[in-house]
Structure 1
Amino acid sequence: MNAPFTTYGVDGGVGLTALLVAAARAIETHRHDSLAQDEYAEHFVRAAPACAGWPVRIEQVPDGEHNPLWGRFARYFGLRTRVLDDFVLRSAGTGVRQVVLLGAGLDTRAFRLDLPSDCVVHEIDRAGVLAFKEQILTEAAAVPRVKRVLVPVDLRADWVTALTSAGFDPSAPSVWLAEGLLFYLPAPAETYLIDTVHRLTTGGSALAFEAKLEKDLLAYRDSAIYTATREQIGIDLLDLFHRDPRPDSAGALAARGWSTSTHTPFDFTRLLGRGPLPERNDALEGNRWVFAHKPHEPRP
């Protein structure tokens, strides 16, 4: 008889949003015009009591693509997954062999992406989230394509020591993802995280993160996306987002010599031909995706 699943890491709060993203990835996987494939996402959704009854295919949603949550918002997460997948693969193509997932959640890139065999993926998140993920992946007989190193630590604790103790090498180039993370953190915590990534990286490294630029998040409280998320699955994202004025993390990196580019999600919708486009009272209006590269130091 199988042991009961450990779900305390994803049964509420920010942890529950990991299941929301997993459900979106499952829906994206089954779309006829899929932007990203994640065969494990559906397993996470089906295993957690907190999301019993959530759809994993768009055909299970009565109003389908017109549903603000499972249509438009899920497509946003699918688009984000694809764009960050491409970012990691491009970085690996330049010789980077260390991947760090900050707030890894239910990320399965070590299983999904065609990374070089000598890559190492470090997954940082709370112990409960990682324990839940490991149980589900074990049940699914999932086999990673590259070496995975789990780093069970809260990002509010000493995650640097945990990461370096787990084998991360600051002297080798690395690629970092902070996917759907920073807007849950207080501003000082975001600043510390960005400063720390700078300190732990050498030339040739890269970082991608998501930011929100709205000055007043509550101005979008009655937007279709936030309303549908509250009413359909009981997640009030605006209660989870931190209300501090956000720091200019892209500017901070640029001041330290990184090259940065900032995009709206809609830039990639137009590039790839699929994804959300702007609409009235749009909760995605202030979302920005930032891509940063640390240059190689000149040789003496």
Structure 2
Amino acid sequence: MDGGVGLTALLVAAARAIETHRHDSLARDVHAEHFVRAAPASADWPVRIGQVPEGDANPLWGRFARYFGLRTRVLDDFVLGSVHDGARQVVLLGAGLDTRAFRLDLPSDCVVFEIDRAGVLAFKQQVLTDLSAAPRAKRVPVPVDLRADWVTALTSAGFDPAAPSVWLAEGLLFYLPGPAETYLIDTVDRLTTGGSALAFEAKLEKDLLAYRDSAIYTATREQIGIDLLDLFDLGPRPDSAGHLRAKGWSTSMHTPFDFTRRHGRGPLPEPNDALEGNRWVFAHKPGP
């Protein structure tokens, strides 16, 4: 957890903790601050906006954390809507420190599959065990690297391709080379039946390095030592939304700012904005 992409999972957990304690919170995660405190790399990070001297004026713990809080809420709503429409399998690709199995009001017959590296899932389990946390639905950790044969691991864990499912790739795809993203999208299509859904985050910029000096990336580097642009894959990105449409899925694409306006809080556009090219894609596979 103390290096590379593992650190970004702690960053998002800290953002969820800050969001949880806001008076106008969009999403609540009472477990998030415990992940932050349990990892040496993040033990002294803020978990409440009151612990940040500049408060919301801080680009990292103000604007960027609010972005992650908004993303959490939007994807929570997507999962709950898909479950309402009949999905009983939730698959979290690169689950990180996701706690939706514990937070969301899911039916008891719903199964949440969490795919991530064994070390990440072990760290998460230790913290949850120490908290005596109990999931609201059946939770199935699937310890496998997404660069390995995660399909066999997922189906061996009980995933049923013949039953509708909802999938999240939250903050994942821009760490993958373009061909790996296409393979993942093709695999989700192959593993899903009609009535299934997928949400993922994409970045549209042709040159991510153009935003290297943006307030968000600069603050993240300087305040917690995470250089996101060193972690992102800088190669050409595929058109995964168009790829899904060609396979018969319906898709919609939104900016985060669309949901800021809908919910009345969250980031709005600013000059030299590292969030400018971020898109949230929601895809549905038609039923029979």
Q: Do they fold alike, i.e. is TM over 0.5?
A: yes
Choose which of 148, 151, 176 in structure 2 pairs with 1:160.
151
Matched, 1:68 2:59: yes
**Count of matched residue positions in the alignment of Structure 1 and Structure 2:** 288
Aligned partner of 1:220 in structure 2 is 211
Aligned partner of 2:28 in structure 1 is 37
Q: Which runs of 5+ in 2 are unaligned?
A: none
Aligned partner of 1:244 in structure 2 is 235
Aligned partner of 2:186 in structure 1 is 195
Any idea what SS the aligned residue of 1:101 has? Answer: strand
Choose which of 101, 105, 108 in structure 2 pairs with 1:117.
108
Any idea what SS the aligned residue of 1:142 has? Answer: coil
**2-structure distance, mates of 1:214, 1:95:** 35
Choose which of 97, 104, 110 in structure 1 pairs with 2:88.
97
Matched, 1:55 2:26: no
**2-structure distance, mates of 1:51, 1:122:** 26
Any idea what SS the aligned residue of 2:136 has? Answer: coil
Aligned partner of 2:285 in structure 1 is 294
Any idea what SS the aligned residue of 2:270 has? Answer: coil
**2-structure distance, mates of 1:274, 1:116:** 29
Task: String of CA shifts for 1:40-71, please: whole Å, max 9, x gaps.
Answer: 00000010001121000000000000000000
Aligned-residue offset at 1:95: 1.1
Taking only aligned residues, the RMSD between alpha carbons, in angstroms, comes to 0.4
**2-structure distance, mates of 1:129, 1:137:** 12
**1-structure distance, mates of 2:285, 2:235:** 27
Choose which of 103, 109, 117 in structure 2 pairs with 1:126.
117
Report % sequence identity.
86
Aligned partner of 1:26 in structure 2 is 17
Matched, 1:106 2:91: no
**1-structure distance, mates of 2:234, 2:60:** 23
**1-structure distance, mates of 2:99, 2:52:** 25
**2-structure distance, mates of 1:41, 1:223:** 27
Structure 2 counterpart of 1:122, one-letter code: F
Aligned partner of 1:279 in structure 2 is 270
Matched, 1:206 2:206: no
Structure 2 counterpart of 1:81, one-letter code: T
Any idea what SS the aligned residue of 1:100 has? Answer: strand
Aligned partner of 1:258 in structure 2 is 249
Any idea what SS the aligned residue of 2:34 has? Answer: helix
Any idea what SS the aligned residue of 2:65 has? Answer: helix
What TM-score, normalized by structure 1, do the two folds share? Answer: 0.96
Aligned partner of 2:161 in structure 1 is 170
**2-structure distance, mates of 1:256, 1:218:** 32
**2-structure distance, mates of 1:296, 1:47:** 43
Aligned-residue offset at 1:74: 0.1
Aligned partner of 1:145 in structure 2 is 136
**2-structure distance, mates of 1:256, 1:205:** 13
Task: String of CA shifts for 1:168-213, please: whole Å, max 9, x gaps.
Answer: 0000000000000000000010000000000000000000000000
Structure 1 counterpart of 2:106, one-letter code: L
Structure 2 counterpart of 1:154, one-letter code: D
What TM-score, normalized by structure 2, do the two folds share? Answer: 1.00
Q: Which runs of 5+ in 1 are unaligned?
A: 1-9
Aligned-residue offset at 1:254: 0.3
Choose which of 220, 230, 239 in structure 1 pairs with 2:221.
230
**1-structure distance, mates of 2:125, 2:186:** 30
Aligned partner of 2:71 in structure 1 is 80
Find runs of 4+ consecutive structure 1 residues off by over 3 angstroms. Answer: none
